[in-house]
Chain A
Amino acid sequence: MNENMFPLSRDELLQVYQTMRTIREFEERVHVEFSRGDIPGFVHLYAGEEASAAGIMTHLRQDDHIASTHRGHGHCIAKGVDVKGMMAEIFGKKSGVCGGKGGSMHIADLDKGMMGANGILGAGAPLACGAALAAKYRDNGDIAISFVGDGASNQGTFLESLNLASIWNLPVVFVVENNGYAESTSVDWAVACDSYVDRASGFGMPGVTVDGTDFFAVYEAAGEIIRRAREGGGPSLLECKMIRFFGHFEGDAQTYRASGEVDDIRANRDCLKSFSKTVTASGVLSQADLEACDTDVLSLIEDAVSTAKAAELPTEADLLTDVYVNY
């Protein structure tokens, strides 16, 4: 085997691959199951964006908190939320991580530091500030991550949170996952500044832009600003420029995209392919290593889907539980 040129060990690299591959397979499978009509409600898929979740979450501890977005499956998986419980939740089953009461847009697991996907764009930013405030108050070195898309980066909640985090010197990192589209609207049209680095500097914090399809670029940039936050250096903004394989939501005809755009990005800008190519070319991981991982992941997802389909639905008794006031 060649010498490891990467900042991560062989086992860690394999873990990263497994995380990214799990997200990819999870989302591709949810896409298929949704199109069959087996999944109720709204679903927003993270496929194509895996390098961001994996590159950031590899630096996190279980007690670090993340506040996610409506496109939250990838964040959940990378933060360690149980994949089978997630799939059951998306199918609306009682065995889901939220007992079938949350669904795709509200998957959360506070024991894993996952404060929830969120149906309200930008709403997670103040919540992440709160998690960071709790960590700062307890002086335990934990940090929080606020994920938003390029669309939610225009929400007042997000902009207010940047300012609040800065003046309170909170251990929080704001990650803008810029996939180029706010639903159907181009980021070039909807964001009134040339660079998120400029926006960060307007709030008195460092800003970094990285190629969000390059795991190693995300990993390196996130490592620096997360270290800074842990050491009391305050908040930062990280923009991951990335791509979305699917539409805004499942069922989106995507007529706003250029002809051939999706085929092109799948062929030429797939973060999983580029990661695989890099690690196998170096010889640290072999194609056989990755294929063994693929087999495990496919088996896990198949199991998750079949278990979810067979699982029981919540009953009438579940309707009135888990709420503070119940008339």
Chain B
Amino acid sequence: MARTISFKEAINEALDQEMTRDPSVIVMGEDSIGGTGSPGEDDAWGGPMGVTKGLYGKHGNQIMDTPLSESAYVGAAIGAAACGMRPVAELMFIDFMGVCFDQIYNQAAKFKYMFGGKAETPVVIRTMVGAGINAAAQHSQMLTAIFTHIPGLKVVCPSNPYDAKGLLIQSIRDNDPVIFCEHKSLYGVEGEVSEESYVIPFAEANVMRDGGDATIVAYGMMVGKAMDAAKTLAKEGVECDVIDLRTLSPIDMETVLESVENTGRLVVVDEANPRCSIATDVSAQVAQQAFKSLKAQIEMVTAPHTPVPFTTTLEDLYIPSAEQVADAVRKTFN
């Protein structure tokens, strides 16, 4: 039965249900419980944003706090995965990947191939992405493309509570390492989510809106901006397809190509910096595979090529806006 819960609650519910279903699912991270060894109360934090709050009370032996040693505990999650566990390691911010990147891109990503197919590494790394809470340059990045570049990793970035739950359950059951990107500005967003456990398969983009005049492709928080832009444009008589990629690796290009072949116009929206991004990747694939369908040049709406600024006025300018998306669509009609 569906009811309205937040993105954050949807993540918590997915973890709770999977930990119940499968005792090999273990959760670890800095302050995932919070307060371990401290004199105050147990489950003091439940994760940096309270996402895992309450799991300790229900699954005390399946969740653990870690020291501030990302290489060690992310690597331990990967090693445990190679030995048959299904660990979910939480890395507070994707920006911290720098300190444990080797374990992810040289170890987890490569085991299966390097070992001739004789290894499975079912590990999920949950991590916060994106800007919008004045977290500044080292806690706000959208580094998705760094991980999509690497063979062996799967990269997921949901845009709403329903997808967050279904994609996280799929990620935990998947036998490959998954970088599960949770946008920090979406944690409070509410939506209808089934109480029952369910999965959303990878590489199935979600057509959020079926318009026919132009195609807007987005993921994560940018899906909401794309939808806002589409509503504005509808008032001007332009009906847009809005496609939420949901998973970035693997990626559902078929849905994108099908839409562009129909509309002839493409705007790709990405909160990441502009070069070597999901936006450039989708644009390149469309240019390569559907060039003859295009009626206008492809437009990209991205953050500028700068670090993420701290103060609100600058951060607001940094994050792509619905108005920028609408302008980009208008440009394809010029």
Interface residues, chain A, CB within 8 Å of chain B? 65, 67, 96-102, 106, 108-111, 115-116, 118-120, 123, 125-131, 133-135, 137, 144, 156-157, 160-161, 163-164, 167-168, 321-326
Contact = CB atoms under 8 A, between A and B. Distances in A.
Contacts of A156: 71
A164 B79 contact: no
A139 to B, nearest CB: 11
B151 to A, nearest CB: 5
Contacts of B250: 325
Contacts of B113: 101, 322-323
Contact of A129 (B76, B106, B152): B76
Interface stretch (B13-21, B116-124, B218-226, B308-316): B116-124
Given A123-B75, A137-B26, A157-B102, A130 B114 contact: no
A109 B118 CA distance: 8
Contact of B118 (A108, A131, A157): A108
Contacts of B67: 160, 163-164, 167
A69 to B, nearest CB: 14
Given A120-B102, A157-B75, A99 B117 contact: yes
Given A123-B103, A123-B106, A130-B77, A324 B176 contact: yes
Given A156-B71, A161-B75, A123 B117 contact: no
B291 to A, nearest CB: 19
A256 B19 CA distance: 54
Contacts of A99: 116-117
Contacts of A100: 116
A15 to B, nearest CB: 26
A108 B73 CA distance: 22
A164 B66 contact: yes
B85 A123 contact: no
Nearest to A115: B82
Interface in B69-110: 69, 71-85, 87, 102-103, 106-107
Given A123-B102, A127-B107, A160-B71, A111 B118 contact: yes
A120 B106 contact: yes
Given A101-B116, A133-B85, 20 more contacts: A98-B116, A99-B117, A102-B116, A106-B114, A110-B118, A120-B106, A120-B107, A123-B106, A131-B82, A133-B76, A133-B80, A134-B79, A134-B84, A160-B69, A163-B69, A322-B113, A323-B112, A323-B113, A324-B175, A325-B249
Nearest to A116: B115
A123 B71 CA distance: 9
B79 A128 contact: yes
B28 to A, nearest CB: 9
B154 to A, nearest CB: 6
Interface of B: 26, 61, 64, 66-67, 69, 71-85, 87, 102-103, 106-107, 111-119, 151-154, 175-177, 249-250
B112 A322 contact: yes
A37 B224 CA distance: 59
Contacts of B69: 160, 163-164
A133 B117 contact: no
Given A106-B115, A119-B106, A164-B72, A324 B152 contact: yes
Which of A100, A137, A156, A167 counts the most B-chain CB atoms under 10 A from its CB? A137
24 contacts: A97-B116, A101-B114, A106-B114, A108-B114, A111-B118, A116-B111, A116-B115, A123-B75, A123-B103, A126-B71, A126-B103, A127-B107, A128-B79, A130-B79, A131-B79, A131-B82, A137-B80, A157-B103, A161-B72, A164-B72, A168-B64, A323-B151, A324-B177, A325-B152
B193 to A, nearest CB: 27
Contacts of B102: 120, 123, 157
B75 A98 contact: no
Nearest to B66: A164
A135 B83 CA distance: 9
Nearest to B247: A325
B106 A164 contact: no
Which of B87, B117, B176, B177 counts the most A-chain CB atoms under 10 A from its CB? B117
